[in-house]
Amino acid sequence: MHTRILPSTTLLLFLSLFVSAQAQEAFTILHPQTESRISKVRSGSIIGSLDGEDVAKLQLRIPFRDSIWVKVASKADKGNFAPAVKELFPESFILAKAVFITVDQKKRKEQRKEYPFDPQNEIDINKFWKSPEFREMYESIHKKRLHNAKLIITGWTHQTIDPTDEDSHASMAGFFSFNPVLQPGGNSYVVRALGADGAVLQTESVEFFYANDYTDIPDEAGGRALFHVDVFEENCAGCHDTELPESALTGGESVEDQCASCHTSLVKQASSHFPVESWDCISCHDAGATPVYALYADKDYDTEACFECHSGVEDETTNSAVIHYPATDRCMSCHDPHSSPSPSLLVDDEFTICASCHEESATTPHPIVNHPMKTVYKPSKEPSVIKCSSCHQPHASAQPKLLSTTRKQLCRNCHNF
């Protein structure tokens, strides 16, 4: 039996073909570009093209962080620990790290322990429940002379697109999109392409800097992330008419014809902004602006545009003794300008929005020990649901700490004494 030796040129050609096949991209991120990723709206858009045919799933990993504080001084308090932990977790997630902190009664000395987890493994609440890490935490709270315990978890949740699903974005001429809700400051996401066997074909990191907060934008954050710029007009023009006709400048059906082909999702949620429902896009966006479709009059922050219709909130923030600063120039920190599944166009549930800035109040006793903040409670009077706005005004108030009335009256709103 003879063994045939391949000529060196043939071998090199074979190797180069193998390497090039391995290097072939499964997808390409079109937006945001790495040099332009500052966002001034709460909802981010990650848009790309699907380049490979072997992709079974596209997955967006979204950073997740939450925490709870539980008083564990008594036996009854200790019994609340496990249910509180269960409330903390989403149904399915990828857990990276758990930090468990206990404080004793006398010295108030803090004991802190970190539990790292394998980020490749998805862990739901049942798996965590059975883990040795949780058993160790549960045993530690039953030690004597403990005052409180705090659990902080970090990891990822994820959104998944099936490219074979005709209803998915990925079936639209080979393009796909994810729309995560941005948090103030830096936001890091990971887009992954998975094969049919679950193998990771490609991984790309995407970063946004959400500028609707009160910190300086870092130099490395780059320029503002925009969609209606030349590179996207060129890519999308095959399916969409991206230029508004002259008649659209007066509003009406022509705007709906142009905008709805891409932006129908803006009116499908439970709570919609009236200009969006009527497709009066150009009441806020300027088709002739640079960059195109920017807010009118080169308004740097959203509140200037909002106050043109919501003058009552402007009067409130101008004439009140205590002002909530997002209401003066950052409406979109709390409200979605288009539509939302939450009432009053809130970008999330009320507690989550407030906790994104007021973390200390959300994770430690507030305003007193064991007072509920995000649970259904049964006080002696209505309302039976306690939330931040039960005590605080969201925009402005005559009372300190944005209280809706005096401290004494606040308690009497729910309690008989």
Same domain, 331 and 392: no
pLDDT at residue 16 in the model? 40
Which amino acid is present at 169?
Answer: H
Q: Does a structural domain hold residue 409?
A: yes
Tokens coding 34: 């790495």
Separation between Cα atoms, residue 340 and residue 227, nearest integer Å? 21
Residue where a domain stops, chosen among 242, 269, 299: 242
* pLDDT at site 3: 40
Q: Are residues 248 and 334 in the same domain?
A: yes
What pLDDT sits at residue 12? 42
Q: How far is CA 372 from the centre of its chain?
A: 24
Residue 413, judged by CB atoms within 10 A of its CB (0-12, 13-18, 19+), counts as middle
User: What CATH number has the domain bearing residue 98?
Assistant: 3.30.1490.100
- What pLDDT does 224 receive? 63
The enclosing domain of 194 has a CATH number of 2.60.40.10
Residue where a domain stops, chosen among 348, 369, 392: 348
Distance (Å, whole) CA 355 – CA 361: 7
8 lies in a domain?
A: no
Q: Are residues 121 and 169 in the same domain?
A: no
SS3 202: strand
172 in the same domain as 47:
yes
Residues 150, 83 share a domain: yes
Cα-flanking dihedrals φ and ψ of residue 231, to 5°? -60, -35
What confidence score (pLDDT) does residue 38 get? 76
Whether 166 and 182 map to the same domain: the answer is yes
**How many domains, in total, are found in the chain?**
4
Q: Are residues 342 and 258 in the same domain?
A: yes
Query: Is 178 found in the same domain as 141?
Result: no
Would you write out the chain's pLDDT as a tens digit for each of its 417 residues?
444 444 444 444 434 444 334 446 899 998 887 666 777 667 788 888 888 788 999 999 998 888 888 888 888 888 888 888 888 888 778 889 999 999 887 767 788 999 998 877 777 778 888 899 999 999 998 888 888 888 999 988 888 988 877 766 666 667 888 888 887 778 889 999 999 998 999 999 998 887 765 556 677 766 666 666 665 666 677 776 666 555 555 555 666 777 776 777 777 788 888 888 888 887 787 767 766 676 665 455 567 778 888 888 888 888 889 989 888 877 878 888 888 888 889 988 888 888 878 877 777 778 877 677 766 566 666 666 788 888 999 999 999 999 998 888 888 888 876
CB 36 within 8 A of CB 224: yes
Alpha carbons 13 and 174: distance in angstroms, whole number:
31
Q: Are 293 and 335 found together in one domain?
A: yes
The Cα-based distances of 375 to 44, 150, 192, 340 in angstroms read 29, 18, 36, 22
What distance in Å separates the CA atoms of residue 245 and residue 334, rounded to the nearest whole number? 33
The reply to whether 106 and 253 lie within a common domain is no
Q: Is residue 126 included in any domain, yes or no?
A: yes
Residue 5: the pLDDT is 43
Determine the Cα–Cα distance for residues 180 and 207; give it in Å rounded to an integer: 11
Residue 5 falls inside a structural domain: no
Is position 338 within any domain?
yes
Domain that holds residue 112: 62-154
Q: What are phi and psi of 177, to 5 degrees?
A: -150, 145
Packing angle, helices 81-88 and 132-140, rounded to 10: 140
252 plus 342 within the same structural domain: yes
Q: Which of 104, 121, 154 is the last residue of a domain?
A: 154
**Token pair of 235 as six digits:** 């890519």
Q: Are residues 207 and 128 in the same domain?
A: no
